[in-house]
Structure 1
């Protein structure tokens, strides 16, 4: 049974570093959670290091700029690693060809235009129509507020018939933008696989993003790492696959499953729900604090 705790400080001293999710843990897409910010600041003051690990489909500098606009103080974290960073590496390495059909919005243009130094001399990536494409890059729906994966059936079936591979820059299926739930690139990638297509994933729960975080933080094999997140299929599954402990934030995506008090999950409901998910985070908490 996952141990329910009231504050990160109860267990923080047992860990050298946190791999902390953003959306649903540190902010709601519009504003930060003050208690979560305070918890990370306290962890760092005690000597711990914080990597904000997000499935945002943009290079980390765009994520940092968003955090700054929200008012998340920089003393709450040491490093930001995004799925966009890992997915960019794969795209510029040619994982889905050099001519790609981009599914996503203008806010993700930096994924293509902000070329990392190590890829400065790589052959150019061109965004083209589906008919001309050698592969697909999905950063999210064209219209996040109104579209669902089913809206892409005809186009994705055409892509499948042509044998195109889809690179998913954000394995999240859904996130909550304030009070509104929206689909992410992960939903499109999964739908494409259901149609018989092939998708490649580079954020949580897949290894490349964890490898990048360890490398950039210079964490040795003996480092004690705690993953913090509200995504059972991304944060918790990723931690389980990486062999690291996890603090599951119940008050995020699955909040309605654990009773009426988002800050105080019902222990029996949590136990039953985790059993159905076949996941066993070491710790759980209503909201990060």
Structure 2
């Protein structure tokens, strides 16, 4: 299904929502990176925001990147590299821009765990860039907190949709005349994320269309599949919970990723060891 909005529909939707603007620090950081600024200048930009500095250092030391014992921002920037740095700062900025209501309590924690798994698998299988896999997993469902903030009753719609994933977007559309995938897509474009990430956000519930090159590039399809596999492995191997919907989509996921049963088993063991 083509979910792209016309300019008129986009303008109407943006009027009814309040999307967080691109943070100034992120804009400044990207401008510095585009002119290939040195690590000292990048550290200076991030260092002006103590909260951001602490979050970047914490993330670099987390299992997502496994640096371990970095104790300075300069060390963290050197370890992360340019591409990872942009993903980390963008992810931190997103979480700060969208504080969660209590009802979504573990939302960012779960998104971050899924992102860590996806980035690890992307690094291992070399099918998509790990930094893009990480960032996609954080932005994948970012439309949910936006809609929850704007429409408190959306949580009831969300509960119904989560109980029926195959009709998730349909349930949202009937209730709000929009969906979290469209809102997330608009936020991704507002924050100037790569188009392949924006497209993946827009279609990440359309597993049966992962092979449709008219809608999705191969990289976008792989991001969608990798994120859902990471979610499945987190749920079943780290939480030891059932994933009842996996049986309906696993063929789409594994075929898109072109991984063998041996590679799947290997990934499952690696994810279990991360917990």
Query: Is TM-score (shorter-chain normalized) higher than 0.5?
Result: no
Normalised by the size of structure 2, how large is the TM-score?
Answer: 0.31
Richer in strand (by share)? 1
Richer in helix (by share)? 2
Greater relative contact order: 1 or 2 (C-alpha under 8 angstroms, separation 6 or more)? 1
